[in-house]
Chains A and B, each alone.
Chain A
Amino acid sequence: MDAITNLLKIISDFVAELIRSVLGFSPLLAELVVMGLAAVVLITFAALSFMGLTYVERKVVARIQDRLGPNQAGPFGLLQPLADGIKMFTKEDTTPATADRWVYNLAPLVIAVFALATYAVIPFAPGVVGTNLNVGVFYVLAIGSGSIVAILMAGWGSNNKYALLGAFRTVAQLIGYEVPMLLNVLTVVLVTGSMSLIDIINHQTLAEGNPGIPHILMLPLPALVFLISGIAETARSPFDLLEAESEIVAGFHTEYSGMKFALFFLGEYVNALAVAFIFSTLFLGGYAGPILPPYVWILLKAALVFFVFMWLRGTLPRVRIDQMHALNWKFLVPMSTVNLVLVMLVLKLFPTSEAAAQTFGGILVTPWVQALILLAVNLAVLFVSLALAARAARRFRQAEEEMIMRRRSANLATARA
Chain B
Amino acid sequence: MTIQQLIFIALAILVIGSALFVVTTSNLFRGALMLIVAFFGIAGFYVLLDNGLFAVAQVMIYIGAISILIIFSVMLTRGMQAMIPRNAQAGSVAIAAGLLFLILLLAFGPFRLVVDLSGVPVLATLFRTESPRVLGGLPWSFANREVPETYIADFGRALVDLNQFLLPFLLVAFLVDAVLAGAIYIARQRKPAEVIAEREAIAKEEAEEIAALQPQAASPALPQSAVASTAEH
A and B in direct contact, judged by CB atoms within 8 A: yes
Specify which chain A residues have a CB less than 8 angstroms from the CB of B60 in the assembled complex. 138, 141-142, 145
Instruction: Indicate if B102 sits at the interface (CB-CB under 8 A).
Output: no
Instruction: Indicate if B10 sits at the interface (CB-CB under 8 A).
Output: no
Q: Mark A134-163, 1 if CB is under 8 A from B, else 0.
A: 110011011111101100110010000000
Specify which chain A residues have a CB less than 8 angstroms from the CB of B165 in the assembled complex. none
Instruction: Indicate if A53 sits at the interface (CB-CB under 8 A).
Output: no
The complex places the Cα of A135 from the Cα of B46 at a distance, in Å, of 14
Instruction: Indicate if B204 sits at the interface (CB-CB under 8 A).
Output: no
Q: Are B215 and A417 in contact (CB under 8 A)?
A: yes
Instruction: Indicate if A199 sits at the interface (CB-CB under 8 A).
Output: no
The complex places the Cα of A236 from the Cα of B75 at a distance, in Å, of 26
Q: Are A149 and B68 in contact (CB under 8 A)?
A: yes
Specify which chain B residues have a CB less than 8 angstroms from the CB of A133 in the assembled complex. 52, 56
Q: Which of B33, B57, B64, B215 is within 8 Å of A153, CB to CB?
A: B33
Q: Mark B52-67, 1 if CB is under 8 A from A, else 0.
A: 1100110110011101
Instruction: Indicate if B8 sits at the interface (CB-CB under 8 A).
Output: no
Give, as a whole number of angstroms, the nearest-CB distance from A313 to chain B.
27
Q: Are A135 and B212 in contact (CB under 8 A)?
A: no
Q: Are B152 and A100 in contact (CB under 8 A)?
A: no
Q: List residues 381-417 of chain A with CB under 8 A from any CB of chain B.
A: 406, 409-410, 412-414, 416-417
Q: Mark B11-47, 1 if CB is under 8 A from A, else 0.
A: 0000000000000000101100100100000000000
Give, as a whole number of angstroms, the nearest-CB distance from B127 to chain A.
39
Instruction: Indicate if A360 sits at the interface (CB-CB under 8 A).
Output: no
The complex places the Cα of A65 from the Cα of B64 at a distance, in Å, of 38
Give, as a whole number of angstroms, the nearest-CB distance from A15 to chain B.
21
The complex places the Cα of A102 from the Cα of B30 at a distance, in Å, of 9
Instruction: Indicate if A171 sits at the interface (CB-CB under 8 A).
Output: yes
Q: List residues 176-201 of chain B with CB under 8 A from any CB of chain A.
A: none
Instruction: Indicate if B162 sits at the interface (CB-CB under 8 A).
Output: no
The complex places the Cα of A145 from the Cα of B64 at a distance, in Å, of 5
Q: Which of A135, A139, A149, A417 is within 8 Å of B63, CB to CB?
A: A149
Q: Are A135 and B152 in contact (CB under 8 A)?
A: yes
Give, as a whole number of angstroms, the nearest-CB distance from A413 to chain B.
4
Specify which chain A residues have a CB less than 8 angstroms from the CB of B135 in the assembled complex. none
The complex places the Cα of A100 from the Cα of B30 at a distance, in Å, of 9
Specify which chain B residues have a CB less than 8 angstroms from the CB of A178 in the assembled complex. 64
Q: Are A146 and B59 in contact (CB under 8 A)?
A: yes
Q: Are B63 and A138 in contact (CB under 8 A)?
A: no
Specify which chain B residues have a CB less than 8 angstroms from the CB of A164 in the assembled complex. 75
Q: Are A135 and B59 in contact (CB under 8 A)?
A: no
Q: Are B67 and A138 in contact (CB under 8 A)?
A: no
Q: Are B52 and A152 in contact (CB under 8 A)?
A: no
Q: Are A410 and B213 in contact (CB under 8 A)?
A: yes
Instruction: Indicate if B159 sits at the interface (CB-CB under 8 A).
Output: no
Instruction: Indicate if B3 sits at the interface (CB-CB under 8 A).
Output: yes
Q: Are A134 and B52 in contact (CB under 8 A)?
A: yes
Q: Are A103 and B30 in contact (CB under 8 A)?
A: yes
Q: Are A145 and B29 in contact (CB under 8 A)?
A: no
The complex places the Cα of A406 from the Cα of B60 at a distance, in Å, of 50
Specify which chain A residues have a CB less than 8 angstroms from the CB of B215 in the assembled complex. 413-414, 416-417
Give, as a whole number of angstroms, the nearest-CB distance from B88 to chain A.
29
Instruction: Indicate if B87 sits at the interface (CB-CB under 8 A).
Output: no
Q: Are B29 and A139 in contact (CB under 8 A)?
A: no
Instruction: Indicate if B216 sits at the interface (CB-CB under 8 A).
Output: yes
Instruction: Indicate if A22 sits at the interface (CB-CB under 8 A).
Output: no
Give, as a whole number of angstroms, the nearest-CB distance from A119 to chain B.
16
Q: List residues 242-285 of chain A with CB under 8 A from any CB of chain B.
A: none
Q: Are B63 and A414 in contact (CB under 8 A)?
A: no
Instruction: Indicate if A28 sits at the interface (CB-CB under 8 A).
Output: yes
Give, as a whole number of angstroms, the nearest-CB distance from A344 to chain B.
13
**Beyond the given A100-B29, A138-B56, could you list 8 further A-B residue pairs with CB under 8 A, ordered by the A residue number?**
A103-B30, A135-B53, A142-B56, A142-B59, A145-B60, A145-B68, A149-B63, A410-B216
Interface residues of B (CB under 8 A from A): 3, 27, 29-30, 33, 36, 52-53, 56-57, 59-60, 63-65, 67-68, 71-72, 75, 152, 212-213, 215-216, 219
Top 6 closest A-B pairs, CB basis?
A145-B64, A413-B216, A142-B60, A142-B59, A413-B215, A138-B56
17 contacts across the A-B interface (CB closer than 8 A): A103-B29, A103-B30, A133-B52, A135-B52, A139-B56, A145-B60, A145-B68, A149-B67, A153-B33, A156-B29, A156-B71, A164-B75, A171-B72, A195-B152, A410-B212, A410-B216, A417-B215
